[in-house]
Amino acid sequence: MMSLAEQLTRQNIKGLVPYASARRSMSGGSIWLNANESPFANEYQLDCSVLNRYPDFQPAGLINAYADYAGVTNKQVLASRGADEAIELLIRTFCEDNESIMICPPTYGMYAISAETCNINTKKVPLNPDFSLNLAEMENNKADVKLVFICTPNNPTGSLISHQQIKAVLDMFKDKAIVAIDEAYIEFSPESTVASWINDYPNLAIMRTLSKAFALAGIRCGFTLANQNIIEAMSKVIPPYPISWPVAQIASQALSAQGISRMQTQLEQINEQKARIAQALTELDYIYEVLPSASNFIMFRTHAKKAIFDKLIEEGILIRDYSSQVMLDNSLRISVGSKEETDALLSVMQAFKA
């Protein structure tokens, strides 16, 4: 019999398959290379003397620090519980019931899931085989679209969308829809940011996060960068105290000059391990393609995907299987970890016989 909760659940939620995050879908293992986290666990100071008080709506120290870091003004920043909350806020702020978001798969899964929880339709315009945008098809599917999500560097492919294509989409949806550029991995490809464009494009919003290069996935802190009018509209929808004091303190320390320089040092170490992994995978004969990556993860294709995936699990190493997604036949993704984690990963992969 259907439980009361099931009977009463909203229709669009009944059939919803929740996001299978790395942490939710896989347990165990001792080396986690499946969630694009940083391998570095850094130390922070916490002052607990004001925890009886509600935090500021948008803690000024944090907002100013992120605005400085991103090269925008403090009125062009909104802090949220991760970039994931920013995705949902954009949908709830801008999409009416009968309107759609547009996404370009293969891409990050949360855009479509967030839309579904809000009962908003998702129009999918797959990327071209070279992972560029299919602009002609985007144009053909423009009707009813209020929000376009573009991820660059793209998760899970690691590819970049050219500035020229981003401009074309901003123009295509001028006066019509918000174009949200997900820059979760931008520190790994800093020259690709479009943050300096927010003064020129009233329909541009950019998502950022401290979860990846800044090694703070555990605190849940992300940002939207956009012109003041977009930020004000989203500020109506975000809950009154989105950023807890402990989060504000830790995030502010991460964004101090010292914190940013530590992030850059760690980023260089990750890039070294990434180059090592890419080179090693290219030399393995059971792998037939290693995709170039502008990010902290590497996607590769192998006809032995299940065998190598299971072998790694057996050795306590978790990576991520994307092979059931459009255009990602036989594809597995490795998040780049520490030197020691890379040593362990490569020794298993090099000993493996398909």
Among 33, 147, 184, 349, binds ligand PLP (CB under 6 A): 184
List the structure tokens of 295.
């990010």
Q: Which is nearer to ligand PLP, 133 or 308 (CB)?
A: 133
Among 76, 122, 209, 302, binds ligand PLP (CB under 6 A): 209
84 binds ligand PLP (CB under 6 A): yes
The amino acid at 176: K
- As a whole number of angstroms, the distance between CA 296 and CA 186 comes to 10
Which residue, chain included where needed, has tokens 């130390």? 43
Q: Which is nearer to ligand PLP, 211 or 331 (CB)?
A: 211
Range in contact with ligand PLP (rule: CB under 6 A) among 46-54, 79-87, 125-133, 157-165: 79-87
333, β-bridge pairs: 299, 320
Q: Which is nearer to ligand PLP, 319 or 349 (CB)?
A: 319
193 binds ligand PLP (CB under 6 A): no
82 binds ligand PLP (CB under 6 A): yes
77, β-bridge pairs: 225
Among 151, 181, 254, 336, binds ligand PLP (CB under 6 A): 151
155 binds ligand PLP (CB under 6 A): yes
DSSP one-letter string for 189-254: SGGG--GGGTTT-TTEEEEEESSSTT--GGG--EEEEE-HHHHHHHHHHS-S--S-HHHHHHHHHH
Which residue, chain included where needed, has tokens 């101090």? 256
Among 217, 278, 313, 346, binds ligand PLP (CB under 6 A): 217
331, β-bridge pairs: 301
CB of 283 to ligand PLP, least distance (A): 28
Residues 277-336 that bind ligand PLP (CB under 6 A): none
* Among the listed residues 308, 301, 292, the one whose alpha carbon sits nearest the alpha carbon of residue 330: 301
Q: Residues in the site for ligand PLP, rule: CB under 6 A?
A: 36, 82-84, 108, 151, 155, 182, 184, 209, 211, 217, 222
